Chains A and B, each alone.
Chain A
């Protein structure tokens, strides 16, 4: 149910993306295809927009979240299980999920 809700939200936002820096259609698609299997299920992983859970992780800093995403941490697989993702994809997805601003490489 959460997964369907997130997907609808992201798809609704995607067309406006380029105009106001919302999630790109590509990020929305990767989220739906790869990330949502865990990040739309609060019993498994912090979900999209969960301010409390993401604040705990935000304290480590964006680069720390990026490194954990690349190498994997606890139940999080390396690259978030996205073999085709670029660093830019991962940065965009971290911003999408956590709300953290990307300081750039």
Chain B
């Protein structure tokens, strides 16, 4: 196996240096133009507009943030004034949140309520940000077994969309839930688990906020542990040739494939003992912008640019690597300061390599001007009705585009590939599927729809996006 190792910062810095030294040819604009989104204007003294993290969704809503579970239950069951939508930290790229009715935040209910070391269990308010969940659990000697890449989301929002990390032994956050309380329009505040109201339990662990507003979760935990994450560049085809063993030999395994090159940044994470000293490595949140700058430099030589880009990446890859060591909740998550838009589909595990190869081939053959690395992760199957991992182990493949570029032409080329591999879209990320598509992708789709209609017959929790999703 041929291996080059370097940090993202070193790669991009070397490339920029190379470009500046004349190794790379002149500057071509490979951007595809910003997405022409229109957002409500902010006028001081007028109601605040809401905008999501990706800045591709917005609305001008009324807001409510009750501070007790009873007040939330009261509001959800008595609300009659237009659409009511739950909102967390706004990290969904899809239009789950926008409404000109009322946004209901559960940030007033935040924090770890209790922990039980013997039962490896915790109860947490749904409005708790993931980074706070990690910090507070760690202080009590616990951790969630796995976490997503970003930890800015509220726990409620992340679980409502089956947000996930990577690792063949771990399901999404939804799979860690063993019980929950949900404020519903039709039945008030309901507690459910695998024995009590089990159908609601299996549906509400990934409900897109369409059944009510979950106020608290009971979740499985494990004793705190320390992890070591190593990131290094390798030749993608070398990685894919042994991807199953690499996946199974590491606690957490993922990689980021670089379009228009033969390389991937491979990230492996494993447990280390308490003696391992903490350090967070050197991560440059702006490196992704530098990468684009470099690609723009080579963009004027359409016949040679990929070759030069790939060579430059390889040359830059000396023998450096990034290692981060620390408590699990700090190592599993990363700061992502570069704003982007994302589409992610989960395909059956065995289809992952072929799907990724077809995506990369399409980008190359159609000369799609994208440099944002493609994320490739594994997630274990679960029994949550609408989780992307419902009843099947999954390989989640994510494509991104910078927020200041138009993602639509790129995503439109890639989405049909995902669909050919029986992919299920991440609920919080961009997709164009509708009710009839979901009906074929999810075995319990009809059951979920019936339950939703029973709990919210007037559709007060449905905004236009969810009406399209559910065909309501």
Q: Which of B39, B51, B65, B285 contacts A79 (CB 8 A)?
A: B51
Contact with B along A55-81 (1 / 0, CB 8 A): 000000001001100111011011101
Contact with B along A24-41 (1 / 0, CB 8 A): 000000000110010000
Cβ-defined contact, B55 with A37, below 8 A: no
Considering the complex, give the chain B residue whose CB is closest to the CB of A45: B337
Given A33-B129, A37-B131, A72-B55, answer yes or no on A86-B48 (Cβ-Cβ < 8 Å). yes
Cβ-defined contact, A78 with B51, below 8 A: yes
Q: Which of A70, A81, A85, A105 contacts B49 (CB 8 A)?
A: A70
Q: Which of A34, A37, A75, A87 contacts B48 (CB 8 A)?
A: A87
Cβ-defined contact, B89 with A75, below 8 A: no
Contact residues, A68-105 vs B (CB, 8 A) = 70-72, 74-75, 77-79, 81-87, 90, 105
Contact with A along B88-121 (1 / 0, CB 8 A): 1110000000000001010110100000000000
Cβ of A12 < 8 Å from any Cβ of B? no
Cβ-defined contact, A33 with B152, below 8 A: no
State how many angstroms separate the Cβ of B142 from the closest Cβ of chain A: 19
Q: How far is the CA of A83 from the CA of B127 in the complex (A)?
A: 12
Q: Which of A37, A78, A85 contacts B52 (CB 8 A)?
A: A78
A interface, by DSSP: helix, strand, loop or mixed?
Answer: helix
Considering the complex, give the chain A residue whose CB is closest to the CB of B51: A78
Contacts of A82 in B (CB 8 A): 107
A-B pair count, CB < 8 Å, reads 77
Q: Which of A33, A78, A87, A105 contacts B90 (CB 8 A)?
A: A78
Contact with A along B50-69 (1 / 0, CB 8 A): 11110100000001110000
Cβ-defined contact, B107 with A79, below 8 A: no
Cβ of B308 < 8 Å from any Cβ of A? no
Q: Which of A34, A44, A66 has the most CB of B within 10 A?
A: A34
State how many angstroms separate the Cβ of B116 from the closest Cβ of chain A: 25
Cβ of B45 < 8 Å from any Cβ of A? yes
Q: How far is the CA of A105 from the CA of B44 in the complex (A)?
A: 5
Given A33-B129, A34-B129, answer yes or no on A84-B65 (Cβ-Cβ < 8 Å). yes
Contacts of B89 in A (CB 8 A): 77, 81, 83
Q: How far is the CA of A74 from the CA of B335 in the complex (A)?
A: 13
Q: How far is the CA of A37 from the CA of B88 in the complex (A)?
A: 15
State how many angstroms separate the Cβ of B446 from the closest Cβ of chain A: 32
Contacts of A37 in B (CB 8 A): 129, 131, 152
Q: A70-B51, A74-B337, A82-B107 known; 14 other A-B pairs, CB under 8 Å?
A: A70-B42, A71-B39, A75-B339, A77-B89, A78-B50, A79-B50, A81-B53, A81-B90, A83-B87, A84-B64, A84-B87, A84-B103, A84-B107, A87-B45
- 28 A–B pairs (Cβ distance < 8 Å), ordered by A: A33-B110, A37-B131, A63-B44, A66-B44, A67-B42, A71-B42, A71-B55, A72-B51, A72-B53, A72-B339, A75-B285, A75-B337, A75-B338, A77-B90, A77-B152, A78-B90, A79-B50, A79-B90, A83-B89, A83-B105, A83-B107, A84-B63, A84-B64, A84-B105, A85-B48, A86-B48, A87-B44, A87-B45
